[in-house]
């Protein structure tokens, strides 16, 4: 629920509760005051009737009953109540209040009963309900309109700045420009966001320079080290020295791959690859499969291609890395004489290979260096790069293991 809608929602229910309570209080107050006024009026009317009797005049007041009796009448209490009487002319039942009091006039006890009609509390309650419903409707309609136009003006800078923040990237050359506003809270938010963007840009620039410099500086001694190891390997060596030299060469090769992989991940996270175009995954798959076909045959793997035509709007360089990493992963972890199936259709790319279950938690599969070292053959970055490329292109990559088969699927 949007903030403005939420505020209006709470405002509506608060108004409804306040109006309901106020309506009930008004009804009870009116009932008390009107009843009190009617009682005073009937008492006055009773005194007037008594005065007429005292003067010896004939009482001809409507809705007046006079009963003459003995002293026992004087012991009866005053009575003030409401009742219903059927009106024969209008053929409806109407509400009446009556007041009964005993008085001694000229030495004789009298019981005087006077009555008067009133609108009726049902009518009062209906009138109050109609009035308050009208007020509620006006409050909701006018409140919504006023809230909409005022909020649209007040919140306009916030919404513009929110849109700009969504499209802002620390890798952009342009500085973050936010719309000015006279609302104090929005001013403070703008200052915080501007400062945050500036710090993020500085940190990104520093990290980018460090990554590029570190990659460059590491690559040079690695190249020298590989060259020297190649030169040493040409010399007569004992078996033990040759074995140690081979381990050093493999470690150097792996370190070089890790260096390139980390640099690639840093660029992916900063969305440095903007050379997007329509790329035929069918061609990329066939090209990489042809390059690795001899390796599949050497290991005795049975590879099966089920490829349909599919184009994606992405970086051609990253698509080569994505397919190469997935095929290399299948080659590395499929046992001898196993089967590898590559399936490409309009909705997804799926690569399966037979093999043993994972020796580490599945949650670490796409993590950097997240696998255990026992029997591990890669540099720990291949599937992390696959995951990052899919995230960059907003694709969904999934893994599952079923019936001794590992299955990687990318849904476009």
Within a domain: 329: yes
**115 in a structural domain:** yes
- What is residue 406's predicted lDDT score, i.e. its pLDDT? 93
The CATH number of the domain holding residue 319 is 3.30.565.10
**Average pLDDT estimate for 295-310:** 89
CA distances from 139 to 6, 9, 16, 152 (A): 17, 13, 10, 19
Q: Bridge partners of 112?
A: 66, 101
Same domain, 23 and 122: yes
Q: Is 339 helix (H, G, I), strand (E, B) or coil?
A: strand
Give first-to-last CA distance, the chain, whole Å: 30
**Is pLDDT of 299 > 50?**
yes
Residue range 337-357, pLDDT digits in tens? 899 999 999 999 999 999 888
Residues 308 and 200 reside in one and the same domain: no
Q: Are 324 and 362 in the same domain?
A: yes
pLDDT tens digits, 93-146:
888 889 999 998 888 899 999 998 876 666 767 777 788 788 778 877 787 777
Residue 400 is predicted with a pLDDT of 92
Judge if 257 and 367 occupy the same domain.
no
Instruction: Identify the band that residue 278 occupies on the pLDDT scale cut at 50, 70 and 90.
Output: very high
Sign of CA pseudo-dihedral 378, 384, 389, 394: positive
Judgement on whether residues 242 and 321 belong to the same structural domain of the protein = no
Domain around 226: 184-268
Neighbours of 283 (CB within 10 A): 14
| Residue 164 to residues 1, 70, 318, Cα–Cα distance (Å) | 22, 96, 28
Kindly write down the DSSP assignment for every residue of 253-288, as one continuous string: HHHHHHHHHHHHHHHHHTT----EEEEEHHHHHHHH
CA distance 89 to 250: 115
- Environment class of residue 110 by beta-carbon count within 10 Å: exposed (0-12), middle (13-18) or buried (19+)? buried
Per-residue model confidence as pLDDT tens digits over 353-380: 998 888 888 888 888 765 554 444 555 6
Handedness of CA 254, 259, 260, 266 (dihedral sign): positive
pLDDT at position 179 over 80: yes
Give the domain-ending residue among 245, 268, 291: 268
Asked whether residue 370 is assigned to any structural domain, the reply reads: yes
Choose between 110 and 217: higher pLDDT.
110
> Of the ranges 19-33, 116-130, 315-329, which one carries the lowest mean pLDDT score?
116-130
Looking at the predicted structure, is the pLDDT value of residue 261 above 90? no
**Same-domain pairing of 384 and 363:** yes
Do residue 221 and residue 304 come from a single domain?
Answer: no
Do residues 405 and 341 lie in contact, with contact meaning Cβ atoms separated by under 8 Å?
A: no
pLDDT of residue 21: 85
Are both 283 and 380 inside the same structural domain? Answer: yes
| Domains in the chain, number | 3
Of 268, 287, 322, the residue that ends a domain is: 268
pLDDT in tens, 233-247: 777 877 788 777 777
Work out the burial of residue 285: count CB atoms within 10 Å of its CB; fewer than 13 is exposed, 13-18 middle, 19 or more buried: buried
Domain boundary among 103, 127, 151: 127
Asked if 397 and 286 sit in the same domain, the reply is yes
Residue 149 is assigned to a structural domain of this protein: no
Cβ burial, residue 260 (10 Å; 0-12/13-18/19+): middle
Indicate whether 403 belongs to any domain.
yes
Q: 121 and 80, same structural domain?
A: yes
For residues 152 and 123, the answer to whether their CB atoms sit within 8 Å is no
Give the single-character DSSP code of 41.
H
Calculate mean pLDDT across residues 12-21.
79
Report CA Rg, the chain.
46
253 plus 297 within the same structural domain: no
What does each C-alpha distance from 177 to 158, 199, 202 come to in angstroms? 13, 15, 16
Q: Does residue 162 lie within any of the structural domains?
A: no
- Does residue 64 or residue 236 have the better pLDDT? 64
Q: Is the same domain home to 288 and 246? A: no
Q: Does some domain include residue 154?
A: no
- Model confidence at 399, pLDDT cuts 50, 70, 90, reads very high
Query: Does 359 map to a domain?
Result: yes
Q: How confident is the model at residue 264 (pLDDT cuts 50, 70, 90)?
A: confident
| Whether pLDDT at 208 is above 60 | yes
Q: Do 408 and 399 form a contact (C-beta atoms < 8 A)?
A: yes
């Amino acid at each position: 629920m949007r903030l403005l809608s939420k505020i209006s929602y709470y405002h509506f229910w608060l108004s409804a509760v306040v109006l309901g309570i106020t309506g009930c209080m008004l009804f009870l107050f009116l009932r008390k005051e009107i009843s009190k006024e009617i009682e005073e009026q009937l008492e006055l009317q009773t005194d007037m009737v008594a005065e007429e009797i005292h003067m010896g005049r004939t009482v001809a007041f409507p809705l007046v009953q006079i009963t003459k009796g003995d002293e026992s009448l004087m012991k009866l209490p005053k009575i003030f109540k409401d009742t219903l009487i059927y009106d024969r002319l209008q053929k409806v039942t109407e509400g009446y209040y009556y007041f009964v009091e005993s008085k001694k006039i000229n030495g004789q006890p009298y019981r005087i009963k006077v009555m008067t009609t009133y609108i009726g509390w049902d009518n009062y309650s209906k009138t109050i309900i109609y009035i308050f419903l009208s007020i509620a409707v006006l409050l909701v309609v006018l409140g919504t309109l006023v809230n909409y136009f005022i909020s649209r003006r007040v919140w306009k800078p916030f919404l513009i700045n929110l849109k700009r923040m969504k499209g802002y990237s620390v890798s952009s050359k342009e500085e973050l420009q936010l719309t000015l506003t006279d609302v104090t809270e929005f001013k403070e938010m703008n200052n915080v966001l501007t400062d945050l963007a500036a710090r993020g840009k500085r940190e990104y620039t520093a990290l980018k320079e460090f990554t590029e410099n570190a990659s460059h500086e590491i690559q040079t001694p690695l190249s020298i080290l590989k060259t020297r190891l190649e030169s040493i390997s040409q010399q007569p060596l004992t078996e033990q020295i040759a074995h140690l030299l081979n381990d050093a060469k493999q470690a150097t090769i792996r370190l070089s791959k890790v260096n390139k992989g980390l640099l690639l991940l840093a660029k992916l996270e900063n969305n440095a690859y903007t050379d997007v175009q329509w790329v035929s995954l069918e061609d990329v798959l066939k090209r990489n499969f042809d390059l690795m076909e001899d390796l599949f045959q050497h290991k005795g793997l049975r590879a099966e291609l089920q490829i349909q035509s599919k184009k994606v709007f992405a970086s051609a360089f990253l698509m080569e890395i994505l397919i190469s990493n997935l095929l290399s992963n299948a080659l590395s972890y499929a046992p001898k004489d196993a089967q590898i199936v590559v399936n490409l259709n309009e909705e997804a790319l799926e690569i399966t290979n037979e093999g043993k279950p994972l020796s580490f938690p599945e949650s670490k599969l796409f993590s950097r260096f997240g696998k255990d070292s026992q029997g591990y053959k890669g540099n720990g970055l291949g599937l992390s790069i696959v995951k990052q490329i899919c995230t960059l292109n907003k694709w969904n990559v999934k893994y599952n293991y079923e019936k001794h088969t590992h299955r990687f699927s990318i849904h476009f």
